Chain A
């Protein structure tokens, strides 16, 4: 390892390692494409023209900067710290995912590849990929677990309207991890003409790094907005963690700010004790899956086990390798909230602030609702409201026993 012990500010190293995590564990067929992507990204990430094109799209297509909203009424009800919501739900397509797909689409355009593929869980990344593909006139195929196709039918139809082919994946557990397996298989078969837009800060190097870089706009904006509005940095950051791209995007620009405490909130499902959850950082152990070494939900024989979360976007047995390292370093606290707590937060924010959050983001809200009352009224919590909740209406209605 070329890194100093516990150095989390200068990651990854040249081989894509975040401490003992990350790396590039893929079949030989993909090594050339990953080398190519790494070279192109190294070059473009230093190119002011590329950065300008990215910033321009974020401003005029995505609608950035997204607001940092002081949720005064909710803060008052909770009776503690002041809560600020980073409104990624107001981005074009309704979630933070588009920050990354805009960036990767620019990379795809540069490679000249005419076809993009993506995996998706809740469908937000699939929609964001289909959107940028439509805009650039690229062919797009999205792989989605058959189980998720069922519970996220609205997003499936959105992708189809955008011109993407949605391929349901029926192997394994029929969720996000299997969608990612299938996307990797497709990529191996069509690597010459296909660009794989990975939706989170996981996968083989250089994906965890480049997805993080594209998502860091969240934290950079939030940091400045918090200084502008409060004259100081926040005391705490809270974000949900599935693969962890919205969380790393918020956290990373604050990592050197020692006064800022960070909480990554995993999906506790039916409770950690039940085993029915998707919380590898809280209850898993390190292993290798989908091209990187990280914390995983696995059994004693190293087989990946079934995960559960009410939120499809968090229903994943792994997590980005940088989170694994930040956990070991002790820089970020990883916690879990269960389905019921997330659903309660979904309802609370909707009723109290008139903002309907995604079920993924509701996990962050639920944890913040527990944290805020333990803090003083002049302290500040920034929560990443990573997506809007329209896509989850069917799930919530079903829990309420209502058919729409």
Chain B
């Protein structure tokens, strides 16, 4: 059983929901990421999604676009991201880490080498936003062989007919995109999410995490009533940007927000 599956199963047995924060690696400084990962884990994160910065983040809103720009300006590369995970693993062997990003930096790194190096660094899963299951075959084999869970997205526009194909390719959990739009958009439709999750659950037993548009304890609680986990990205990244010049304040505020999200979910 993978670290992701184990974590989600144990939460399910306790009747709790997974809190899955997202931050961009290398933002606001290269050496800020590992301390941020520890703060997130200590404040109640069950799984952490770590963004691999990309020059052309087509599915992201302005907040994460700017985070990617800051990280790239700091010189962040896929190699750096993997060493950050490795460093995090020196102290934390429990919290699953999922790398999230776009295909091209992975393709440039080389799929075989990436699968090997990521697994060795202690990465647990991968979300590649612009890699639909139809095109994923060759990557999926390599990631499976390395013990990495490949996590796929389902969108409000995904037809019922298509869900089984995505579920069959998916490992670890499915990521339901709560809205039509980019990350950080504001039009969360809780009832729409509930209905779509009902459909998804009829088709697959994989846990479903919901992301895009969840920004505070209240929205986390509302979505947590229906999902197995909630992903919070832009709200945290915005906070990181706001306190980018004050490391202590940044870590404190990120911890605070994470604890508040945890409380919202556990309520």
Contacts and interface: CB of A to CB of B under 8 A. Distances in A.
B135 interface: yes
Interface size class of A (residues with CB under 8 A): 35 or more
Contacts of A24: 132, 134-135
Contacts of A32: 155, 157-159, 162
Contacts of A287: 104, 107-108
A289 to B, nearest CB: 6
A63 interface: no
Contacts, number: 120
A40 interface: no
B180 A192 contact: yes
Q: Is the interface of A mostly helix, strand, loop or mixed?
A: mixed
Contacts of A184: 58-59
Interface string B164-187: 001000000000010011100100
Task: Identify which of A189, A192, A296 gathers the most chain B CB atoms within 10 Å of its CB.
Answer: A189
Interface string A1-37: 0000000000000010000000111111111110000
Best-buried of B58, B60, B135, B156 by chain A (most CB within 10 Å):
B58
Given A188-B182, A288-B107, A298-B108, A27 B152 contact: no
Contacts of A330: none
Given A184-B58, A288-B104, A303-B72, A29 B156 contact: yes
Contacts of A33: 157
Interface string A299-314: 0111111000000000
* Most B C-beta atoms less than 10 A away, residue of A15, A24, A29, A191: A29
Q: How large is the interface on B (under 10, 10 to 19, 20 to 34, 35 or more residues)?
A: 35 or more
B65 A27 contact: no
Given A172-B56, A301-B78, A304-B56, A25 B108 contact: no
The CB with the most chain B CB atoms within 10 A, among A25, A26, A296, is that of A25
Given A27-B129, A301-B108, A302-B108, A189 B181 contact: yes
Interface of A: 15, 23-33, 171-172, 177-178, 181, 184-185, 188-192, 287-291, 296, 298, 300-305
25 contacts: A25-B135, A26-B58, A26-B130, A27-B129, A27-B155, A27-B177, A28-B166, A29-B157, A30-B157, A31-B132, A31-B155, A32-B158, A32-B159, A32-B162, A172-B55, A181-B58, A185-B182, A188-B59, A190-B180, A288-B104, A301-B108, A302-B104, A302-B108, A302-B109, A303-B72
Interface of B: 54-62, 65, 69, 72, 77-79, 102-109, 129-132, 134-135, 152-159, 162, 166, 177, 180-182, 185
